[in-house]
């Protein structure tokens, strides 16, 4: 028998969502009359249909594929020029990122995991706590960690606690790290980082020759003018950061799949012998070898997000979800809870009532309001004492959730 990658054995057996499913099943079996009333505000998936402009562009692209004259086979591995140029123009013009620094893919989940392939062993890796679990698990798989302790914290990782005290933006570490994962607007806390905070992180990264992985999947949800939309708004970031963006949450592409990674040409790493090497070149090589490009109709659909109609449709989707977030924030405040997030992100992060922990709150919401939320502790030790409500839902469901929270938990 062949030898397996033993690192996979270190993974915690996908604890959060299976445990949620187990508790929901146990509850609905014991209370069959409540089963039909259950409203899910747990998983971070969009609910509203794909914009018309996107569907139209995809239909047209499929028809092109049915015609000898317009048929396209393999496309460029890094993505079609029409999409890379539309992204550069619409998202990064003011910060001077060019189309050839943008790599199209089929998802940010894959990109944030795959990016580790171009980095060698021995890097010190910092991740926030609570965190999007993909960052942790992909490092475990890559062999960048030791074993997990009884709290699920992996040896070898540097955890950066994000709490109400630091407004859910981690303090600059007092040790040297090589790779840092930051996600703003944040999943799960809904927090944003200020310009000053990002300036401090970029300064730290430059001083320590570190690279920041900046996950901006929720950029489109930013409502406040002074919140940075890209790490590249910060001077010097092109020498120390990679940014990940996705069409999943703004365009509703979670089922369609399209995302992109920005690697500035100025960004470098070091080889074993100390030579500086372009990370852009390494990622380009990796992409050409292991990826044959995102599907043509999907890239046409993604480009339609930047059409006049597409922009209006995306704005309406964002307005819908952020309207939900506002209602959810208000009802939690009304029943006396401390509420974070939900202003520039589709997640509302709520402090559990005195004496109730994350899972205790999960059970109360399930049993008393028949609403499924996500316990904060599932995203990391620092998430204990909080729960996350997702604003991805229909308005009718959110209004019903608010009624039930007020009635049963108020």
Ligand X SMILES: *Cc1c(COP(=O)(O)O)cnc(C)c1O
Q: Which residue is nearest to ligand X (CB)?
A: 107
List 44, 251, 378, 380, residue binding ligand X (CB under 6 A): 44
Helix (H) or strand (E) holding 260: strand 259-262
Write the CA distances from 83 to 57, 76, 256, 260, 298, integer angstroms.
12, 11, 15, 10, 10
Q: Is 262 one of the binding residues for ligand X (CB under 6 A)?
A: no
Q: Is 248 one of the binding residues for ligand X (CB under 6 A)?
A: yes
Rounded to the nearest whole angstrom, what is the least distance from the CB of residue 28 to ligand X in the complex? Answer: 27
334-342 long-range contacts (CB < 8 A, ≥24 apart) are: 334/406, 334/410, 335/405, 335/406, 335/409, 335/410, 338/164, 340/164, 340/168, 340/189, 340/190, 340/191, 341/168, 341/185, 341/186, 341/189, 341/190, 341/191, 342/190, 342/391
Q: Is 183 one of the binding residues for ligand X (CB under 6 A)?
A: yes
Residue count, binding to ligand X (CB under 6 A): 14
- Cβ proximity to ligand X: between 248 and 295 the closer is 248
List 187, 230, 295, 374, residue binding ligand X (CB under 6 A): 187
Rounded to the nearest whole angstrom, what is the least distance from the CB of residue 403 to ligand X in the complex? Answer: 28
Q: Is 132 one of the binding residues for ligand X (CB under 6 A)?
A: yes
Q: Is 254 one of the binding residues for ligand X (CB under 6 A)?
A: yes
Nearest one of 163, 190, 182, 183 to 389, comparing CA atoms: 190
Nearest one of 325, 313, 373, 305 to 57, comparing CA atoms: 305
- Cβ proximity to ligand X: between 27 and 291 the closer is 291
Interacting span for ligand X (CB under 6 A) from 201-209, 233-241, 243-251, 293-301: 243-251
Nearest one of 130, 11, 20 to 380, comparing CA atoms: 130
DSSP 154: B
Rounded to the nearest whole angstrom, what is the least distance from the CB of residue 289 to ligand X in the complex? Answer: 21
d(CA 275, CA 262): 23
Interacting span for ligand X (CB under 6 A) from 24-32, 248-256, 291-299, 330-338: 248-256
List 39, 54, 77, 109, residue binding ligand X (CB under 6 A): 109
- Cβ proximity to ligand X: between 187 and 358 the closer is 187
Q: Is 379 one of the binding residues for ligand X (CB under 6 A)?
A: no
Interacting span for ligand X (CB under 6 A) from 107-115, 271-279, 349-357, 377-385: 107-115
Rounded to the nearest whole angstrom, what is the least distance from the CB of residue 153 to ligand X in the complex? Answer: 20
CB atoms within 10 A of CB 9: 9
Q: Which residues contact 338 (CB under 8 A, 6 or more apart)?
A: 164, 350, 351
Q: Please state the length of the chain.
A: 410
Q: Is 217 one of the binding residues for ligand X (CB under 6 A)?
A: yes
DSSP 52: H
Scored b (16 or more CB within 10 A) or e, 117-142 reads ebbeeebbbbbbbbbbbebbbbbbbb
Q: Is 219 one of the binding residues for ligand X (CB under 6 A)?
A: no
Q: Is 317 one of the binding residues for ligand X (CB under 6 A)?
A: no
- Cβ proximity to ligand X: between 43 and 316 the closer is 43
Rounded to the nearest whole angstrom, what is the least distance from the CB of residue 257 to ligand X in the complex? Answer: 7
DSSP 112: H
Q: Is 246 one of the binding residues for ligand X (CB under 6 A)?
A: yes
| Beta-bridge partners for 261 | 103, 244
**Chain residues that interact with ligand X, rule: CB under 6 A:** 44, 107-109, 132, 183, 187, 215, 217, 246, 248-249, 254, 259
């Amino acid at each position: 028998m062949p030898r397996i990658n033993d690192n996979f054995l270190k993974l915690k057996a996908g604890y959060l969502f299976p445990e949620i499913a187990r508790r929901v099943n146990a509850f609905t079996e014991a209370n069959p009359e409540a089963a039909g009333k259950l409203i899910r505000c747990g998983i971070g998936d969009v609910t509203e249909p794909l914009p018309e402009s996107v569907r139209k562009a995809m239909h047209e692209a499929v028809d092109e594929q049915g015609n000898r004259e317009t048929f396209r086979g393999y496309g460029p591995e890094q993505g079609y020029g029409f999409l890379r140029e539309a992204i550069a123009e619409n998202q990064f013009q003011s910060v001077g990122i060019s189309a050839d620094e943008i790599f199209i893919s089929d998802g940010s989940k894959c990109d944030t995991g795959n990016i580790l392939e171009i980095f060698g062993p021995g890097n010190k890796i910092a991740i926030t706590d609570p965190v999007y679990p993909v960052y942790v698990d992909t490092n475990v798989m890559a062999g960048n960690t030791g074993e997990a302790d009884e709290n699920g914290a992996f040896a070898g990782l540097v955890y950066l606690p994000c709490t109400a005290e630091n407004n859910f933006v981690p303090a600059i570490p007092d040790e040297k790290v090589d790779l840092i994962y930051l996600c703003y607007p944040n999943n799960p806390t809904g927090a944003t980082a200020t310009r000053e905070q990002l300036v401090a992180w970029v300064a730290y990264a430059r001083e320590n020759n570190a690279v920041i992985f900046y996950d901006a999947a929720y950029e489109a949800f930013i409502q406040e003018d002074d919140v940075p939309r890209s790490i590249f708004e910060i001077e010097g970031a092109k020498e120390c950061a990679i940014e990940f963006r996705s069409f999943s949450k703004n365009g509703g592409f979670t089922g369609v799949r399209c995302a992109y990674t920005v690697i500035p040409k100025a960004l470098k790493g070091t080889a074993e012998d100390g030579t500086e090497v372009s990370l852009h070149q390494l990622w380009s090589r990796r992409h050409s070898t292991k990826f044959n490009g995102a599907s043509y109709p999907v890239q046409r659909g993604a480009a339609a997000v930047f059409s006049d109609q597409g922009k209006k449709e995306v704005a309406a989707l964002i307005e819908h979800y952020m309207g939900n977030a506002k209602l959810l924030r208000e009802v939690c405040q009304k029943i006396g809870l401390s509420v974070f997030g939900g202003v520039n992100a589709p997640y509302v992060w709520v402090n559990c009532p005195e004496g109730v922990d994350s899972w205790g709150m999960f059970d109360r919401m399930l049993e008393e309001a028949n609403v499924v939320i996500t316990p904060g502790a599932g995203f990391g030790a620092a998430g204990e004492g909080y729960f996350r409500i997702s604003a991805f839902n229909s308005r009718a469901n959110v209004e019903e959730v608010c009624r039930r929270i007020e009635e049963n938990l108020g």
